[in-house]
Chain A
């Protein structure tokens, strides 16, 4: 089966986001950008399924500006076979992303679409579930284990109470949680090789998807800041503080 993996270019995990002074958003000028960490896990999982012989081809898709090509090249360097960039400079909301991915899925007919459970910029945690809904496929969200056999996929999910396993018919949508795997680093030869792998360029119009925003951002602000408090020098002093706070009698 084919596997489709969606990857997003986002602010790097280690960068502290700064709100723009005019309140219109977060300042991304000259900020290091990387592949969304959950999407790296999605790519890794797809590659492992191909290495196990479950899948034959891994296709990476990204929706975003021309620079998202770099993110796709990273996926190719990790080992994906080919890539599709749906290029737009506009902001694209999860619903529109899901619609575009649904069109790609209809074209490519993958057995699984694997996505990160959320992007660390907008923290929406929606795209995979929406894609599953639009395709009328089952969904295995927040996956910490994925096992494919006999046309079904068993997905172990990280839920609030612990772990839960569901069995899904394929094709299905899987979204990744942190503990699914540890993504590999791309080796230098593979980075070189990735440059010649096929990367198709499309636009949202090619798929006939309307990406007009449904949510308007009125303003973006810094959250109220906590003030650093006091440092105490001993456990006794700490207990004194806890008593004042009423935590201990």
Chain B
């Protein structure tokens, strides 16, 4: 039987949701093994072993793996895949996208990026041109390296598995890179990629103050995550991790409420798989209305406060 190794993305001792979608994709390809790399990650490895369908967890524990430096983590994955696995999968997150191509090149494999479905042992679908086309591609490489779009696969259950846990030594610190620091957004709100409801704002808000003064109370009422268009992020209304779109986050919540967002194809690429799309925009011809299930034409500065109050 084929073996599919999945890179586990974890934070604060917990396995992140994007990993669970990658596990589901892997389970369609073979026996699921996981790679947990980090520092003091015994707890993560135990949690990972419980994910439904997992046969084995390989753990690389050490200071060199603390910050997902691709230079240090990729060789660990390469050694495992070379000797034991047929597939290497990573979630298509910034962590997975940073590490997986490095693994692919070291294995002399052409990566299949952001797969949407597994059509067969070597055949996958993936979006190209900002999701305006879907390609079905067949890989001729002996081993396959794949990143998985989190919104395209159901999440594997966190409980139900009973995988074994095995330590791998790895090469340690390659000595060419180091972690300096991070400025991570702190928020009590749901993370965009797993939020059930998202309210998202565009440049029409006019300033960072108005963006937050109007959107935050609405998000609080709806227990929603807050997103933004590229234009709003470029204008400094919201930090980069709010950006939804072709090159930002790909989201597919139950409800996506786009406010003051015209709907450029690059933005639509990041949210058009949402179950229900609501659009509020003053321009009745805005392209966002072509994909919205419910649209309201009008001034967001009047509509948003009224909506927040009446909810």
On A, residues with C-beta under 8 Å from B are 11, 13, 16-17, 19, 25-26, 38, 93-95, 98, 117-118, 120-134, 137-139, 141-142, 144, 154, 157-169, 172, 177-179, 213-223, 226, 228-239, 241-242, 245, 247-248
> Of all chain B residues, which has the CB nearest A179?
B240
Extra contacts, 18 of them, besides A123-B128, A213-B140, A229-B294 (Cβ < 8 A), are A19-B133, A25-B133, A26-B128, A125-B101, A126-B104, A129-B97, A139-B102, A160-B93, A161-B241, A162-B185, A162-B239, A164-B67, A165-B181, A222-B132, A223-B134, A235-B303, A247-B222, A248-B311
Q: Mark B170-185, 1 if CB is under 8 A from A, else 0.
A: 0000111111111111
B305: nearest chain-A partner, CB-CB:
A235
A234 CB to closest chain B CB (Å) equals 8
Per-residue contact bits, chain B 137-151, to A (CB 8 Å; 1 contact, 0 not): 111110000000000
Given contacts A95-B105, A235-B296, contact A161 B246 (CB under 8 A): no
Q: Is the CB of A229 within 8 A of B293?
A: yes
Q: Name the residue on B nearest A214 (C-beta).
A: B110
Residue contact B295 to A232, C-beta cutoff 8 Å: yes
Once the chains bind, are A179 and B128 in contact (CB under 8 Å)? Answer: no
A204–chain B nearest beta-carbon distance, Å: 15
A238 touching B182, Cβ below 8 Å: no
Pick from B34-42, B57-65, B247-255 the stretch touching chain A.
B247-255
Q: Is residue B165 within 8 Å, beta carbon to beta carbon, of the partner chain? A: no
Known: A95-B105, A141-B98, A179-B233. A165 touches B110 (CB 8 A): no
Q: Chain A: interface secondary structure? A: mixed
Distance (Å) between the CB of B307 and the closest chain A CB? 5
Chain B residue numbers with a CB within 8 Å of A127 are 101
List chain B residues, Cβ under 8 A from A216. Answer: 137-138, 140
Shortest distance from the beta carbon of B280 to any chain A beta carbon, whole Å: 8
Bound complex: CA A144 to CA B136 (Å): 33
28 residue pairs from A and B, CB less than 8 Å apart: A13-B266, A17-B133, A25-B133, A26-B128, A98-B105, A123-B130, A126-B111, A129-B102, A132-B102, A133-B105, A138-B71, A138-B174, A139-B177, A160-B94, A160-B249, A165-B179, A166-B178, A177-B240, A213-B140, A214-B141, A215-B137, A217-B136, A221-B136, A223-B132, A226-B293, A230-B295, A231-B284, A247-B255
What residue in chain A is nearest B288 (Cβ atoms)?
A: A228
Report B-chain residues with C-beta under 8 Å of the C-beta of A118.
247
Return chain B residues, CB-CB under 8 Å to A13: 266
